[in-house]
């Protein structure tokens, strides 16, 4: 896989500039944590990355998760693989899933501890369960790079860690917007700090401690 | 109170309607309307099922036409909804639904004769226009998030099925089921122009003065609509859909020469057919506009405005019947029954019955329109009132009605009334077929006299009038910021 780059990108909202201009390069095999205050531009940067890299099979966990409430957990996860199957296969699956696909998806659900909700509609699930469904979807998608916006924000400690482990195991290359700095340092090897729409910090995480990141959240 | 734009607008409508009353023709021409009414009431309480020949067949045909027509309309409407962004599709759909199904039926009758295709297309075509609009609105309301997160390279059909369609599915199903009920009414009414459905038998029973069979037919019609939810189960639907096309009956065979004649001769304006050229066409058109279109438009507008205000007044009186803030469990159920009967009687059927009782004038038409539409709006406003929570020490009775309910419900009420304005006008035009001098009267006479060219021009004028009222109503709604979910407004 070639490296992923953004070159002097900007994002405007209305008349004001929300982000940029900024450039960054992502090397294959890198797990990058995006940190910064809310409103600093993390989600906007992720959106920009997705627009630029979508065609290279980027997988996305948006902040709103993008689940279809009327479909079951299984179908929501299966949506990660829609482009791998024929239209006909997809339409039949909507009415009656194939045993092979269920067998593929069940281990993912078990790993994320949501196997018991496999046939429940996504609209009936709790916030934490929904977040894990979205995670299972990108695991099943197995794209080239993962772009995730606060993928574990509604999960408690051990669960958050296990979902982070699953995501970083499956995706060699990933950009994850995080607000939990400790978790970010533990699972990512590079930290990019965003402040007022620009890159304020870009360091390998082994050189950083929680205290180095905290200034980003002040003022 | 006078500062409120909604109140001032409402009063303006009332004043216009009062003005229209001066020019409207209201008279009771039958010798003894009460006696007629008493005979009808007697017929309703002594229904005689055995008096109607082929009763079962009439019921089966009514169901079959509704099923086939609505299915065709839903499928083509759905396909149109997918490309509803194109101005051409949007405009085309607005146009085909601006023409009432009975006018479509009158036109198709000239092409296909009494073949089932006439009835099926008459339902399917305008319904496709309505389905396209409402389906497109429902699909647009779906959350775009899931579609954004789809993997790259996903086929558009798969993506559509899993994201927008899956989210919208429950709404699409409930709207379609609701339209099936409308289809049953349309199907029954098509009998009045010769299709073998309930309306056909109703008309002939009336003509022969068999009030007991009239009673039986009406009761069967209500039972059919009231029990719709019991037998139209999702699991049974495929079976109905497969069976329905075979139960339409064979009717009379299509004469292909009729279709050719219709397209190449009938609809060509007379002066062009007889080689009088453009000068002749101008004179022909001027004559048509002055002597038929203009009086038709004036009467249609008069009747529409009076019926609209009466509908509103009736809805405001009726809605407490189904509001939990005014009724107990028992009286609430009774109220529901009354409103179900009012709104599920097609206005055409009501007008037909009232016309038999009161004789031809605008009165039966206005009363029929107000009863049917007032029942629908009253029901919807009542439902809306049930979502309101009152403080525990809220006043009761008239004070509750005037201070707690009406001020809160007036916005949605007015929105609904403006939505129905165009529908009321479409129905007003159609009631002309029964002899009231609205546009439908001139269209029907033109067709009787085989002046299809004139009928077509008049139908186009009716459609344009409907489109005009629709856009006026939309502008008024936007100015007063009135909104109401589009997918449940009644037929």
**Interface pTM, i.e. ipTM:** 0.77
Q: Is the pLDDT of residue A113 over 90?
A: yes
Burial B309-341 (b: 16+ CB within 10 A, else e): bbbbebbbebbbbbbebbbeeeebeebeeebbe
pLDDT of residue B53: 67
Tell me the pLDDT of chain B averaged across its residues. 87
pLDDT of residue B375: 92
Alpha carbon separation from A191 to A30, A101, A179, A186, A209 (Å, rounded): 10, 36, 12, 11, 11
Please name the residues in contact with B289: beta carbons below 8 A apart, sequence gap of 6 or more: none
User: Does residue B159 belong to the interface with chain A, where contact is any CB pair within 8 Å?
Assistant: yes
Q: What is the DSSP string of B170-217?
A: HHHHHHHHHHHHHHHHHHHHHGGGT-SSHHHHHHHHHHTT-HHHHHHH
pLDDT of residue B154: 80
Burial A39-62 (b: 16+ CB within 10 A, else e): ebbbbbbbbbbbeebbeebbbbbb
Considering only CB atoms, A75 lies closest to which of B147, B150, B162, namely: B162
**Cα gap B203→B380, rounded to integer Å:** 31
Which of B94-103, B135-144, B264-273, B347-356 bottoms out in mean pLDDT, i.e. has the lowest?
B264-273
Which of B209-223, B249-263, B444-458 bottoms out in mean pLDDT, i.e. has the lowest?
B249-263
For B119-136, what is the mean pLDDT? 94
User: Does residue A39 belong to the interface with chain B, where contact is any CB pair within 8 Å?
Assistant: no
Contact A90 B161 (CB under 8 A): yes
What is the distance in angstroms between the Cα of B155 and the nearest Cα belonging to chain A? 7
Please name the residues in contact with B477: beta carbons below 8 A apart, sequence gap of 6 or more: B415, B418, B419, B483
**Cα gap B463→B38, rounded to integer Å:** 39
Contact A75 B166 (CB under 8 A): yes
Please give the angle made by the CA atoms of A49, A53 and A58, to the nearest 5 degrees: 100
pLDDT of residue B368: 94
Contact A91 B163 (CB under 8 A): no
Strand order in the sheet with A198-204: A58-61, A145-149, A174-177, A31-35, A190-195, A198-204
pLDDT of residue B301: 94
User: Does residue B238 belong to the interface with chain A, where contact is any CB pair within 8 Å?
Assistant: no
Q: Is the pLDDT of residue A93 over 80?
A: yes
Closest alpha carbon to B82 in B25, B138, B147: B138
Q: What is the largest CA-CA distance in chain B?
A: 79
Contact B157 A80 (CB under 8 A): no
Residue B365's pLDDT band (cuts 50, 70, 90): very high
pLDDT of residue B485: 62
Which domains are present in chain A? 1-57+145-219 (3.40.50.300), 67-142 (no CATH)
Classify residue B254 as exposed, middle or buried by CB count within 10 Å of its CB (0-12, 13-18, 19+): middle
Please provide residue A56's backbone torsions phi and psi, each rounded to the nearest 5 degrees. -95, 25
Indicate which of A60, A82, A101, A138 best probes the interface with B, i.e. most B CBs within 10 Å of its own CB: A82
Tokens matching residue B227: 């029990």
User: Does residue A90 belong to the interface with chain B, where contact is any CB pair within 8 Å?
Assistant: yes
Contact B153 A57 (CB under 8 A): yes
User: Does residue A83 belong to the interface with chain B, where contact is any CB pair within 8 Å?
Assistant: yes
pLDDT of residue B23: 84
Element (H, E) at B242: helix B237-243
Please give the angle made by the CA atoms of B246, B224 and B304, to the nearest 5 degrees: 105
User: Does residue B162 belong to the interface with chain A, where contact is any CB pair within 8 Å?
Assistant: yes
Tokens matching residue B365: 């038409």
Q: Is the pLDDT of residue B313 over 80?
A: yes
Considering only CB atoms, A82 lies closest to which of B145, B159, B167, namely: B159
How many C-beta neighbours within 10 Å does residue B22 have? 7
Contact A70 B167 (CB under 8 A): yes
| pTM higher than the cut 0.80 | yes
Q: Are B347 and B372 a contacting pair, CB within 8 Å?
A: yes
User: Does residue B149 belong to the interface with chain A, where contact is any CB pair within 8 Å?
Assistant: yes
A 115-134 near B (Cβ less than 8 A): 134
Residue B1's pLDDT band (cuts 50, 70, 90): low
Rg of chain A in Å (alpha carbons): 18
Contact B169 A70 (CB under 8 A): yes
Indicate which of A48, A54, A83, A86 best probes the interface with B, i.e. most B CBs within 10 Å of its own CB: A83
pLDDT of residue B236: 87
**Cα gap B7→A130, rounded to integer Å:** 47
For B387-394, what is the mean pLDDT? 80
Burial A167-206 (b: 16+ CB within 10 A, else e): bbebbebbbbbbbbbebbbebbebbbbbbebebebeeebe
Closest alpha carbon to B70 in B213, B179, B199, B206: B179
Q: What is the DSSP string of B346-389?
A: -HHHHHHHHHHHH-SSHHHHHHHHHHHHHHHHHHHHHHHHTT--
User: Does residue A48 belong to the interface with chain B, where contact is any CB pair within 8 Å?
Assistant: no
Residue in chain B lying closest to A91 (CA)? B158
What does DSSP assign to residue B482? -
User: Does residue B150 belong to the interface with chain A, where contact is any CB pair within 8 Å?
Assistant: yes
Residue A30's pLDDT band (cuts 50, 70, 90): very high
Q: Is the pLDDT of residue A165 over 90?
A: yes
What percent of chain B stands above pLDDT 70? 97
For B3-11, what is the mean pLDDT? 84
Which domains are present in chain B? 1-30+271-491 (1.10.3720.10), 49-266 (1.10.3720.10)
Contact A57 B152 (CB under 8 A): yes
Q: Is the pLDDT of residue B64 over 80?
A: yes
For B196-214, what is the mean pLDDT? 88
Residue B261's pLDDT band (cuts 50, 70, 90): confident
Closest alpha carbon to B256 in B247, B248, B264: B264
Please give the angle made by the CA atoms of B378, B381 and B386, to the nearest 5 degrees: 120
Burial B47-56 (b: 16+ CB within 10 A, else e): beeebbeebe
Classify residue B228 as exposed, middle or buried by CB count within 10 Å of its CB (0-12, 13-18, 19+): middle
Q: Are A57 and A213 a contacting pair, CB within 8 Å?
A: no
Q: Is the pLDDT of residue B486 over 60?
A: no
Strand partners, A193: A35, A201
- Highest average pLDDT, of B255-264, B272-281, B304-313, B401-410, comes from B304-313
Q: Are B362 and B305 a contacting pair, CB within 8 Å?
A: no
């Amino acid at each position: 896989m070639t490296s992923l780059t953004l070159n002097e990108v900007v994002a405007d909202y209305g008349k004001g500039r929300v982000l940029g201009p900024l450039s960054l390069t992502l090397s294959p095999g890198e797990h990058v944590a995006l940190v910064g205050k809310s409103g600093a531009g993390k989600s906007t940067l992720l959106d920009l990355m997705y627009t630029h890299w979508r065609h290279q099979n980027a997988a996305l966990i948006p902040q709103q998760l993008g689940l279809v409430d009327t479909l079951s957990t299984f179908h929501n996860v299966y949506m990660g693989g829609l482009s791998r199957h024929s239209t006909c296969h997809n339409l039949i699956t909507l009415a009656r899933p194939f045993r092979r696909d269920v067998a593929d998806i069940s281990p993912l659900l078990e790993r994320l501890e949501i196997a018991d909700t496999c046939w429940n509609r996504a609209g009936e699930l709790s916030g934490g369960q929904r977040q894990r469904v979205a995670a299972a979807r990108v695991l099943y998608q197995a794209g080239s790079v993962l772009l995730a916006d606060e993928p574990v924000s509604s999960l408690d400690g051990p669960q958050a860690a296990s979902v982070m482990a699953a995501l970083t195991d499956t995706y060699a290359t990933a950009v994850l917007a995080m607000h939990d700095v400790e978790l970010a340092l533990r699972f990512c090897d590079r930290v990019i700090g965003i402040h007022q729409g620009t890159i304020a910090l870009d360091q390998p995480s082994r050189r950083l401690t929680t205290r180095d990141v905290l200034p980003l959240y002040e003022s | 109170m006078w500062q409120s734009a909604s109140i001032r607008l409402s009063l303006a409508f009332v004043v216009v309607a009062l003005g229209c009353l001066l020019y409207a023709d209201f008279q009771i021409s039958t010798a003894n309307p009460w006696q007629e009414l008493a005979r009808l009431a007697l017929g309703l309480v002594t229904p005689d099922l055995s008096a109607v020949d082929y009763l079962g067949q009439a019921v089966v045909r009514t169901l079959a036409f509704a099923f086939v027509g609505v299915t065709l309309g839903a499928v083509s409407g759905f396909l149109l909804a997918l490309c509803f962004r194109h101005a051409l599709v949007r405009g085309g759909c607005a146009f085909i639904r601006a023409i009432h199904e009975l006018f479509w039926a009158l036109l198709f009758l000239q092409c296909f004769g009494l073949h089932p295709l006439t009835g099926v297309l008459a339902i399917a075509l305008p319904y496709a226009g309505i389905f396209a609009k409402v389906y497109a609105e429902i699909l647009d309301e779906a959350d775009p998030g899931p579609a954004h997160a789809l993997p790259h390279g996903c086929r558009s059909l798969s993506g559509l099925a899993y994201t927008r369609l899956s989210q919208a599915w429950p709404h699409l199903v409930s709207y379609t089921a609701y339209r099936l009920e409308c289809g049953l009414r349309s199907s029954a009414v098509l009998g009045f122009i010769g299709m073998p459905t309930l309306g056909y038998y109703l008309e002939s029973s009336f003509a022969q003065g068999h009030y007991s069979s009239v009673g039986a037919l009406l009761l069967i019609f209500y039972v059919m609509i009231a029990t719709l939810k019991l037998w139209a189960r999702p699991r049974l639907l495929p079976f109905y859909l497969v069976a329905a096309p075979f139960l339409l009956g064979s009717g009379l065979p299509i004469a292909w020469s009729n279709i050719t004649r219709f397209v190449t001769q009938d609809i060509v304006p007379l002066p062009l057919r007889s080689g009088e050229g453009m000068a002749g066409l101008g004179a022909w058109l001027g004559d048509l506009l002055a002597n038929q279109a203009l009086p038709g438009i004036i009467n249609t507008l008069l009747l529409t405005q009076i019926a609209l205000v009466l509908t509103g007044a009736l809805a405001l009186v009726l809605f407490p019947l189904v509001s939990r803030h005014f009724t107990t469990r028992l009286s609430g159920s009774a109220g529901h029954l009354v409103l179900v009967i009012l709104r599920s009687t097609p206005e055409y059927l009501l007008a037909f019955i009232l016309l038999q009782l009161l004789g031809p004038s605008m009165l039966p038409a206005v009363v029929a329109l107000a009863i049917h539409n007032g029942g629908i709006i009253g029901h919807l406003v009542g439902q809306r009132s049930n979502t309101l929570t009152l403080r525990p020490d809220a006043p009761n009775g008239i004070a509750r009605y005037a201070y707690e309910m009406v001020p809160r419900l007036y916005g949605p009420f007015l929105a609904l009334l403006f939505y129905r304005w165009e529908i009321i006008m479409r129905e007003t035009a159609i009631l002309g077929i029964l002899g009231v001098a609205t546009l439908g009267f001139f269209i029907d006479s033109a067709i009787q006299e085989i002046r299809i060219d004139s009928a077509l021009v008049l139908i186009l004028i009716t459609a344009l009038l409907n489109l005009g009222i629709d856009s006026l109503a939309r502008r008024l709604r936007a100015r007063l910021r009135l909104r109401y979910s589009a997918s449940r407004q009644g037929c």
